[in-house]
Amino acid sequence: MSTSSPAIAFQGVRKSFDNGRTFAVDSISLDIAVGEFLAIIGGSGSGKTTTLRMINRLLDPDQGTILIEGLTASELSPHELRRRMGYVIQGVGLFPHLTIAENIAATPTLLGWARDEIDARVAELLELVGLPPAEFITRMPSTLSGGQRQRVGIARAIAARPHIVLMDEPFGALDPITRDSLTRAYRKLHDRLGLTTVMITHDVQEAILMADRLVIMKEGRLLAIGTPRQLAARDDSDGVGDLLDMPRRQASRVQERLSDDPHG
Ligand SMILES: Nc1ncnc2c1ncn2[C@@H]1O[C@H](COP(=O)(O)OP(=O)(O)OP(=O)(O)O)[C@@H](O)[C@H]1O
Ligand SMILES: [Mg+2]
């Protein structure tokens, strides 16, 4: 691995599900730097999940190349990719028949870690995501709240100490307070562990608060890429500046409603 390689590079990547008549992902080229936190925003069906799934080879591109830490993804085995990447699936996706501990231990087990090393890692991760191990290790996913399951999903994704974490709407189903604390906790973790994170979200404010750079997808293409500040400053012919400014407009409406009460 060359130290100057991006963590992930897309080079002219296209993916079709109907033999090239329409492209779910169309000619994407993009470098994601080591240590970067990238958020992908875009309407339903714009190709976000397809893009993410090509990074860990749940899907392979029809055309173009994806490089992972300088290596061609199509030449890496799924085993190799799993060592490098964690994946938090849209809708959590815990294994329902496995305990919380077994869920978190899934990849380390697959990679042949020693039993006591796995047990220590599971306990450490549960602490990290704010679930007391003594209470949660033996529970089944069906007995957890949505927010607790999402925490387990994150713990499972980083269990094997990946360099890269892929997250598909990881905080979607959480109440606002849990969401706020978990998103902060995750960003700290990203920085502390030196991770490269690619996160899909529908929430513009969450993307602005968490990510170093944002990608806006539309109809399988990258409509815009940049830091939140760069995108917010764009002239608005394509709607990007407007989209990025939405949280600020909402905040000022909230401020107005709270400060100016005609019945107060
Ligand atoms: N396995 C598949 N077979 C056929 N079409 C697919 C498949 N997966 C995705 N598509 C199509 O590709 C397009 C992009 O889908 P994708 O799941 O990437 O969208 P998305 O941006 O993640 O949307 P959402 O925000 O709703 O999750 C959609 O039109 C979808 O119907
Ligand atoms: Mg999706």
Instruction: Say yes or no to pLDDT of 260 above 80.
Output: no
**Distance of CA 80 from the midpoint of ligand 2 (Å):** 24
For ligand 1, which residues put their CB under 6 angstroms from it?
A: 17, 24, 42, 44-50
Tens of pLDDT, residues 8-49: 999 999 999 998 888 999 999 999 999 999 999 998 999 999
Contact 156, 102 (CB under 8 A): no
Distance from C-alpha of 15 to C-alpha of 64, rounded to nearest angstrom: 9
Instruction: Say yes or no to pLDDT of 1 above 60.
Output: no
Instruction: Say yes or no to pLDDT of 105 above 70.
Output: yes
Contact 88, 98 (CB under 8 A): no
Sequence-ordered list of residues with C-beta below 8 angstroms from that of 95, at least 6 positions apart, any chain: 102, 103, 106, 141
**Distance of CA 106 from the midpoint of ligand 2 (Å):** 23
Higher pLDDT, 249 or 2: 249
Instruction: Please state, for a pLDDT cut of 70, what percent of the chain lies above it.
Output: 96
Q: So what's the pLDDT on residue 3?
A: 57
Average pLDDT over residues 209-213: 96
Could you tell me the domains of the chain? Answer: 8-257 (3.40.50.300)
Tens of pLDDT, residues 107-133: 999 889 999 999 999 999 999 888 999
Confidence of residue 55 (pLDDT cuts 50, 70, 90): very high
Of the candidates 208, 94, 111, which has an alpha carbon nearest to the alpha carbon of residue 156?
A: 94
Which sign, positive or negative, has the C-alpha torsion 50, 51, 57, 62?
positive
Q: Which atom of ligand 1 is the closest one to the Cα of 46?
A: 21
114 burial level (CB within 10 Å; 0-12, 13-18, 19+): exposed
Residue type, 237: S
Instruction: Say yes or no to pLDDT of 262 above 80.
Output: no
Distance from C-alpha of 111 to C-alpha of 160, rounded to nearest angstrom: 8
Which residues sit opposite 67 in a β-bridge? 9, 72
Sequence-ordered list of residues with C-beta below 8 angstroms from that of 48, at least 6 positions apart, any chain: 40, 42, 168, 200, 217
Sequence-ordered list of residues with C-beta below 8 angstroms from that of 195, at least 6 positions apart, any chain: 35, 158, 162, 163, 164, 165, 189
Ligand 1 pocket test, candidate residues 14, 23, 49, 52, most atoms within 8 A of CB:
49
Of the candidates 215, 179, 172, which has an alpha carbon nearest to the alpha carbon of residue 36?
A: 215
Provide the 8-state DSSP code for 161.
Answer: -
Task: Tell me the pLDDT of the chain averaged across its residues.
Answer: 90
Of the candidates 153, 178, 180, which has an alpha carbon nearest to the alpha carbon of residue 168?
A: 153
**Distance of CA 81 from the midpoint of ligand 1 (Å):** 22
Which-ligand-closest: CA of 47? 1
